[in-house]
Structure 1
Amino acid sequence: MTGSTEIPMSLDVACHLNVLVADASPESLDRALPALADLGIHRIVLPPLDPAATDARGLRDSLERWHVSPITIAGQAPGADVSSDDPDERAAGVAALRQSLRLTAELGGDQMNGVPYGIFGSPGAPVPRRRLEEAARLVGAVADEAADLGIAMTFEVLNRYETSAVNTAAQAMRFAEESGSENLRIHLDTFHMAVEESDLAGAIRLALPRLAYLELGQSGRGALSGGAVDIPRLVTQALDDGYRGRFGVEAFSRTILAEPVADMLAIWRTPYDDGIELVRDALRVIRSGWAASTAGRREIRLARGAMV
């Protein structure tokens, strides 16, 4: 695909760090952050981090050196799960979310993504409705705490192979309403949506009142310009429908990820080798969708008029 990779001023675009490197070590950041900054990306999604084992000061210094803002990922684990039947496990799940929230604040981040409503992985059975309702209330309380810190908390909608709890935009809206929090926001990912939604643009439209992060991932986990998902059209339609939140770029390749992470995400192939080229391609795709939108066309006309 040809076209400009320049990010329009009206768009806020983030990139998952694992598109380029396997981890958030200083060595990996030194390779990834300058390249992303050169492309105009100043916001990255960090891989899941252990708050107790993370040098927050050192990581923040690395990010600030390249004027990059972090988005963290929070999750649950066996023994610390807000959807558990066990009250101690639910309490431990809330504590884990709060630890991730504190780390986000220490890193200077203003957004925390993730799967806060249960354990990521192959679900063995549906989550009982009463457990999901309780999980929503617990997650909502943390979202309110996040808002007090100036941090937007989102929850990602996953496909059926990774959770049985929240798979569609409609389910996400219900979960958000059941949370009792006006601050809990939705994270949609086109990779998962391609599995679960019959109308991707309609799902985005449905989630708009709560949608804060629209992640763009292709069906094969590779370049956004090639696959089953018409990403430019979705970007155009989302903008025309009034979406003004952040966009994310996500792709995974087995040659880049650490092997345990690749196994966990079921990344068995190598859809790409060059993360920087993948990001360039993604920016061209996003820009083409923006340029076809009403807001994009208006901005282009105004820019041309200013140059006359």
Structure 2
Amino acid sequence: MPIDAACHLNVLVPDLAEPALGRALGTLADLGYSSVVLPPIDPDGDPLAGWAALFRDHGLAPITIAGQAPGADVSSPDEDEQQAGVAALLRMVDATAALGGDQMNGVSYGLFGRSPTAAPPGALERAAGHLGRVADQAHERGVTVTFEVLNRYETPLLNTAEQALAFLAASGSAHLRVHLDTFHMAVEEADMLAAIRSAVPVLGYLELGQSGRGPLGSGSVDTAAAVRAAVEAGYRGRVGVEAFSRSVLSEFASDLLGIWREPYTDGAALAAEAIGIIRRAEADVGSPAGLGS
């Protein structure tokens, strides 16, 4: 079976508003993507049933993103805030299932954003325990929970694959999975390919992001090598595409993510190039020249 290729919706459009949403989903389906990563949604107020029908019509599996917020944070020392964080994650699990999805990604272990201090004592242990239990409950709903490893400028909690593996072990869950992103790995990992290989047994999502947040074929990250390394090590999970441009994103999201430039203006062309890179890298591993490489 070919790799299940996913693309972040924000590569093409800023949000889930129609009619642009339907056109974007049609573009991704025509290019051969099987899944689409959604920007943050409101699990309590958004039209989940209508979106679910749209995803079904286009043959695309939606992948949600879950986060934490001040006052609702599983890594907080305050027990009430921890429980509020758990409740927020479980609501997103329910929304994922309602959308017809089977995977929930995100920074689900703490607050997103640069911190002036190191992670407080006990934060990772608290987050791991709660997230492990959420992942176990989500598994019963048919939803896999992953947690994304970010660079040091976006979280003080988890920055490397090695840290992610320790966090996973501390969670006590057999169902929680790791989400690695080459954009962040380019900042933090001494050997990106070795880090990917080390995580393959528990890798739930490999995301391809270029150094400048633009087209995967232009930048300092060898995204094809990342795919080859994962497949050679036995990875058969989803491979995702992520890119951001200020001309496509909303102003709020651009500011939040620090997207000050326009590394691309044609999201469809970027998505087409990206799935070509994935398919060629996948084929390289299966070719006689790629065996044992």
**TM-score of the superposition, structure 1-length normalised?**
0.92
**Matched residue of 2:240: which SS?**
strand
Pick from 164, 178, 181 the counterpart of residue 186 of structure 1.
178
What residue is the counterpart of 2:41 in the other structure?
Answer: 49
Q: CA deviation at 1:134?
A: 1.1
Out of 281, 284, 287, which is 1:297 matched to? Answer: 287
What residue in structure 2 maps to residue 30 of structure 1? 22
Shift of 1:28: 2.5
Q: Secondary structure at the match of 1:153?
A: strand
Aligned mates of 2:45, 2:256 — CA distance in 1: 21
State the Cα deviation string for residues 158-203 of structure 1 (Å, max 9, x = none).
Answer: 0000000000000000011100101000000000000000100010
- Write the mapping of 1:134-213 to structure 2, written as runs, cut at 5 A: 134-213=126-205
CA deviation after TM superposition for structure 1 residue 19, in Å: 0.3
Distance 2:125 2:96 in 1: 26
How far 1:124 sits from its partner (Å)?
2.1
- CA distances 1:124-165 after superposition (whole Å, capped 9, x unpaired): 211124121011000000000011111110000000000000
Structure 2 residues without counterparts, runs of 5 or longer: none
8 Å Cα contact 2:132-2:176 kept in structure 1: yes
Contact 1:12 1:246 in 2 (8 A): yes
Residue type matched to 1:202 in 2?
A: A
Map of 2:4 onto structure 1: 12
Are 1:282 and 2:274 an aligned pair?
yes
Aligned residue number for residue 124 of structure 1: 116
Further displaced range: 123-132 or 219-228: 123-132
Deviations 1:239-295 (A, max 9, x none): 1111111100000000000000000000000000000000111112112212221xx
Structure 1 position 272 matched with structure 2 position 272: no
* Rounded Cα–Cα distance in structure 1 between residues aligned with 2:121 and 2:195: 22
What code does the residue aligned with 1:220 have?
A: G
Identity among equivalent positions (%) equals 56
| Farther-moved stretch of structure 1 (203-212 vs 135-144) | 203-212
Instruction: Give the whole-Å Cα distance in 2 for the aligned partners of 1:202 and 1:149.
Output: 33
Q: Does the CA-based 8 Å contact 1:140-1:179 persist in structure 2? A: yes
Q: Which residue of 2 aligns with 1:40?
A: 32
Q: Secondary structure at the match of 2:16?
A: coil
Distance apart, 1:64 and its partner CA: 1.3
1:29/1:62 contact within 8 Å kept: no
Contact 2:201-2:235 within 8 A present in 1 as well = no
Q: SS at 2:44's partner residue?
A: helix
State the one-letter code of the partner of 1:187: H
Matched AA of 1:13: A
Say what the alpha-carbon RMSD is for the aligned residues: 1.5
Q: Does 1:112 align with 2:121?
A: no
Structure 1 residues 40-119: aligned runs within 5 Å: 40-119=32-111
- What corresponds to 1:258 in structure 2? 250
Query: C-alpha displacement at 1:213, in angstroms?
Result: 0.5
Q: Work out the CA distance in 2 between the residues paired with 1:14 and 1:48.
A: 16
Q: Is the 8 A contact 1:26 1:59 kept in 2?
A: no
Residues 117 and 135 in structure 1, CA contact (< 8 A), matched pair in contact too = yes
Deviation digits for residues 51-89 of structure 1 (CA, Å, limit 9, x no counterpart)? 112111111111112111100000000110011111111
* TM score, norm. by length of structure 2: 0.96
**Distance of aligned partners of 1:210 and 1:129 in 2 relative to their CA distance in 1, 3 Å threshold:** farther
Superposed CA deviations along residues 23-53 of structure 1, whole A, max 9, x for unmatched, are: 0123231220111111111310000111112
Q: Which ranges of 4 or more aligned residues in structure 1 deviate by more than 6 Å?
A: none
Instruction: Judge conservation of contact 2:205–2:237 (CA < 8 Å) in 1.
Output: yes
Instruction: Tell me which amino acid in the other structure corresponds to 1:44.
Output: V
